[in-house]
Structure 1
Amino acid sequence: MMMMEDKLLNWLKLVFISLMVLLFVSKIAVLLWWRPRKIEDHFSKQGIRGPPYHFFIGNVKEIVSLMLKASSQPMPFSHNILPRVLAFYHHWRKIYGATFLIWFGPTVRLAVSDPDLIREVFTSKFEFYEKNEAHPLIRQLEGDGLLSLKGEKWAHHRKILTPTFHMENLKLLVPVVAKSVTDMLDKWVTMSESGNVEIEVSEWFQILSEDVITRTAFGSSYEDGKAIFRLQARQMDLAAQAFQTVQIPGYRFIPTKRNIKSWKLDKDIKKSLMKLIGKRKENIGNVLPEKGPKDLLGLMIQASDSSPNITDYDIVEECKSFFFAGKQTTSNLLTWTTVLLAMHPQWQVLARDEVLRVCGARDNIPTKDDVVKLKTLNMIVNESLRLYPPIIATIRRAKTDAELGGYKIPSGTEILIPILAVHHDQAIWGSDANEFNPARFSEDQEFKPYDDDDDKLLSDDEEENVTQDVYEERRPNHEMDKERDSIATHLMLR
């Protein structure tokens, strides 16, 4: 009798284990095969196709192959960077049209470049879409701030931080920015006194951006804040090294030499920020001065005094986000604008003349009233942002079943918005979409740059010849460090 009971018990255990294995295999099959096929069929009935899904890996192998092939070829003399930077999108758009499916593993992404559809995602139907979750290493760097927050907490933090970016407050920050820029230019002048000197502007602009952001974030606590951001820059380099290797699930929890360094830096950053917050509260209290610019740290501390929902942890995370989001985007904009002006000297002359006319001699620091009068410079910056946007793509995820421009979007579908492709779309910008033409942002569409030597307008052929000559003579080394590129690659599809 005892033996029969043991056999029955063993048989039941075997059946239970078999059922569990069968259930697990079934879930894997649904996730990695049945569901992707069902989604492909769902979109195919709506006229949306894409490269076929491959079990488990999706289209990742093809994406990597297309990107590697594009980066292995020399860049042509052109601002048409889409085929190189978003090679997979450029390739498949020619085959499947402007709206198509891509598979990142078993995760489906709907590529959308129609401005009307993008407007729905960000404005009229934004409540149906949420931000994509960041990679854990990126999340550690960017902090749990506005970049990653969602829902009511995001809205609450945004309301608190809005005064930092209010136009009146930004105008008060003009002297702060001017001082940082003047200090940098003085160093350049000193360097040039020994004769011709080559300056790597991307490195200088990274330092400048860090300096301005630190002053904006920490105000009177500038020196302490700068030391903290130095730690975060080191942490960013470690994360970049990690992205250059194969990502093994759970590897970031293993106490490797690099991971231990990263953990220590994260701990030091949080500890230093908490100490700074305590010192700031002790020195100035929770009341901001009525006059003068409002810094991010002061606004957060003031909010924490009146709202129990704002903790010291929230302040720490917002400071991390502010630095991480602002430094690379700002320095990249400054770098590419400088490169474009070097390639198109006729616009450089116009911008310089305008600055001298509006702001006066070099010793005169621009005021808040001067900045709004720099129309030509504003056109140039807009065109730089169009041709070389700091963020080349972004992602939103459908929180529930939704409708987008007549398409039925299942819950969980990720919407890939290729910002760079939209900025280079000839249907939107015209046949010269891949050319540097700041005049497109002028109210006077006939506006054209002048020659350096006289008042006659340059012909298109003359402008191209001048641009080619200057580019070959002064072509700067504007490739970013490989370490920072690897982080940008992961950021670009968020």
Structure 2
Amino acid sequence: MECTIINYISIFLSGCLLFGVFKLFVKLWWTPMRIQRFMRSQGIQGPSFKFIQGNTRDVYIKRMQAMATPMDLSHNILHRVMPCVHSWLNLYGRNYLQWSGVDAQLMITDPEMIKEVLHDRQKSFPKAKLKGHIHRIFGNGLATAEGQRWANSRRIANFAFHGDSLKNMIPTMIECGEKMIEGWKNYEGKELDAFKEFKVFTLDVISHTAFGSSYQQGKKIFHMLRELCELSIRNGYKIRLPIISKILKSKDDYEGERLGKRLKDCFMEIIKEREEKLRNGEANDYGNDFLGLLIKAKNDPETSQCISMEDIVDECKTFYFAGHETTNVLLAWTMLLLALHKEWQEKARNEVLDVFGHNNPTLEGLPKLKTVRIMTYR
């Protein structure tokens, strides 16, 4: 009797093992090959799928090769920043299929097709689900959310950053800018790292205007977000096997979890501090900045408009990181272009002096800066 039971258990375990191996085979080989054959039958070519790794190693090698050579100061940067796209566009055409591990990625560069995807009124093209360390940065914030969750986030963001709100932010922006320029006086006749300076400036602005916190608080938050970003870059080309990667975690995985928890605790501390002030009568409301509006939505009695604490944390991370990074890079790139094209630098400087003189910028005067607008559009 005992032998019979043991035999049944052995057969059952063997069956489970075979089923697991079959599922892995389907996911890691059969499905990718089936997708590749189907796409090629539709005329969509691309680099061939390689077992488990897809084209990840090819992308990594091409990027390392591109980064190893110096770059001329030029707007022709595709071969440098996205060498694999540059190479495969020439080989396979404007639309092609590539592989991130076992995940198929249809790369499109045809303007009409891009327009169709962006005008996705039928919701045929859902947003990509972020994984790993990059998910810890954005969570389910505005950049990745969909449906009612996205609608609530968009409504709050629109209200927080409409014209009147931006007008009220100008004094704070000017104050942060004056502090930065005052520090530049110590570098007269010396070399200055403009990118680093703008990093501090934009962090200071977004900390004060969107979250009402100080630069020191913002610095601590942004430092953790930068560490998560570095973890994401470092692990971006590593293949993660299903199930196994969740059991056998790397040192970076544990570090990412630790940073994610610290970030959440940091934001929750700021949020609870605002709620506590209202309860104690130290404030009349949660504040009119972006964070205040998020907290108000969290405590909204209307269930459909209500958001959770997790939602607030994700929105804060998204705006802190994405808002800061994009503005910082744009300012540094603009400075580089003005340095390369001194005739435009002269035009922009003269126009600003004509409109504002030696006074601070105003919201009413900004639309009069025609040369600056042309530079921005170009």
TM-score (normalizing by structure 2): 0.88
Task: Give 1:174's aligned amino acid.
Answer: I
1:170-226 CA deviation, whole Å, 9 max, x = no partner?
A: 23322322222122112223442xxx12110001100110111112212xx333xx3
Tell me how far 1:286 sits from its aligned partner.
3.0
1:299 aligns with 2:298: no
Verify the 8 A CA contact 2:28 2:52 in the aligned structure 1.
yes
Relative to structure 1, the CA distance from residue 40 to residue 267 in structure 2 (aligned partners, 3 Å threshold; closer, same or farther) is closer
1:208 aligns with 2:205: no
Verify the 8 A CA contact 2:231 2:252 in the aligned structure 1.
no
Relative to structure 1, the CA distance from residue 217 to residue 287 in structure 2 (aligned partners, 3 Å threshold; closer, same or farther) is closer
Residue matched to 1:58: 54
1:18 aligns with 2:7: no
1:234 aligns with 2:227: no
Task: Give 1:371's aligned amino acid.
Answer: L
Residue matched to 2:284: 285
* One of 189, 192, 198 as aligned partner of 1:199: 192
| Greater shift in the superposed pair: 251-260 or 370-379 | 251-260
Residues matched between the structures, number = 365
1:37 aligns with 2:33: yes
| Greater shift in the superposed pair: 155-164 or 90-99 | 155-164
Residue matched to 1:131: 127
Secondary structure in 2 matching 1:284: coil
Residue matched to 2:103: 107
Secondary structure in 2 matching 1:127: coil
Q: Give identity over the alignment, percent.
A: 31
1:61-109 CA deviation, whole Å, 9 max, x = no partner?
A: 2111111111111113422110010000000000000100001111000
Task: Give 1:205's aligned amino acid.
Answer: F
Task: Give 1:236's aligned amino acid.
Answer: L
**In 1, distance between residues paired with 2:146 and 2:249?**
25
1:386-442 CA deviation, whole Å, 9 max, x = no partner?
A: xxxxxxxxxxxxxxxxxxxxxxxxxxxxxxxxxxxxxxxxxxxxxxxxxxxxxxxxx
Structure with greater contact order relative to length (CA < 8 Å, sep ≥ 6): 1
Secondary structure in 2 matching 1:368: coil
Verify the 8 A CA contact 1:141 1:235 in the aligned structure 2.
no
Secondary structure in 2 matching 1:102: strand
Residue matched to 1:359: 356
Tell me how far 1:20 sits from its aligned partner.
1.7
Relative to structure 1, the CA distance from residue 267 to residue 197 in structure 2 (aligned partners, 3 Å threshold; closer, same or farther) is same
1:222 aligns with 2:216: no
Secondary structure in 1 matching 2:134: helix
Tell me how far 1:298 sits from its aligned partner.
2.1
Verify the 8 A CA contact 1:273 1:316 in the aligned structure 2.
no
Tell me how far 1:253 sits from its aligned partner.
7.5
**In 1, distance between residues paired with 2:368 and 2:226?**
39
Task: Give 1:285's aligned amino acid.
Answer: N
Relative to structure 1, the CA distance from residue 381 to residue 147 in structure 2 (aligned partners, 3 Å threshold; closer, same or farther) is same
**In 2, distance between residues paired with 1:29 and 1:314?**
37
Verify the 8 A CA contact 1:145 1:321 in the aligned structure 2.
yes
**In 2, distance between residues paired with 1:317 and 1:52?**
37
| Greater shift in the superposed pair: 328-337 or 249-258 | 249-258
Hey, which of these two has a bigger chunk of helix by percent?
2
Verify the 8 A CA contact 2:136 2:228 in the aligned structure 1.
no
Tell me how far 1:263 sits from its aligned partner.
5.7
Tell me how far 1:56 sits from its aligned partner.
0.9
Structure 2 residues without counterparts, runs of 5 or longer: none
Task: Give 2:354's aligned amino acid.
Answer: R
Residue matched to 1:270: 267
Verify the 8 A CA contact 1:181 1:208 in the aligned structure 2.
yes
Verify the 8 A CA contact 1:70 1:87 in the aligned structure 2.
yes
Relative to structure 1, the CA distance from residue 267 to residue 322 in structure 2 (aligned partners, 3 Å threshold; closer, same or farther) is closer
1:380 aligns with 2:369: no
| Greater shift in the superposed pair: 86-95 or 163-172 | 163-172
Residue matched to 2:172: 176
Tell me how far 1:240 sits from its aligned partner.
4.3
Task: Give 2:366's aligned amino acid.
Answer: V
Residue matched to 1:159: 155
Secondary structure in 1 matching 2:126: strand
Verify the 8 A CA contact 2:210 2:290 in the aligned structure 1.
yes
Residue matched to 2:320: 323
* One of 60, 63, 67 as aligned partner of 2:63: 67
Relative to structure 1, the CA distance from residue 366 to residue 240 in structure 2 (aligned partners, 3 Å threshold; closer, same or farther) is closer
Task: Give 1:272's aligned amino acid.
Answer: E
1:444-474 CA deviation, whole Å, 9 max, x = no partner?
A: xxxxxxxxxxxxxxxxxxxxxxxxxxxxxxx
Secondary structure in 2 matching 1:369: coil
Secondary structure in 2 matching 1:182: helix
**In 2, distance between residues paired with 1:222 and 1:236?**
16
**In 1, distance between residues paired with 2:293 and 2:105?**
38
Tell me how far 1:119 sits from its aligned partner.
1.5
Relative to structure 1, the CA distance from residue 36 to residue 313 in structure 2 (aligned partners, 3 Å threshold; closer, same or farther) is closer
Relative to structure 1, the CA distance from residue 287 to residue 206 in structure 2 (aligned partners, 3 Å threshold; closer, same or farther) is closer
The alignment yields a C-alpha RMSD, in angstroms, of 2.5
Structure 1 residues without counterparts, runs of 5 or longer: 289-293, 384-494
**In 1, distance between residues paired with 2:257 and 2:135?**
17
**In 2, distance between residues paired with 1:278 and 1:252?**
37
**In 2, distance between residues paired with 1:237 and 1:252?**
21
Task: Give 1:355's aligned amino acid.
Answer: V
Secondary structure in 2 matching 1:101: strand
Task: Give 2:220's aligned amino acid.
Answer: L
Task: Give 2:206's aligned amino acid.
Answer: I
Tell me how far 1:304 sits from its aligned partner.
3.3
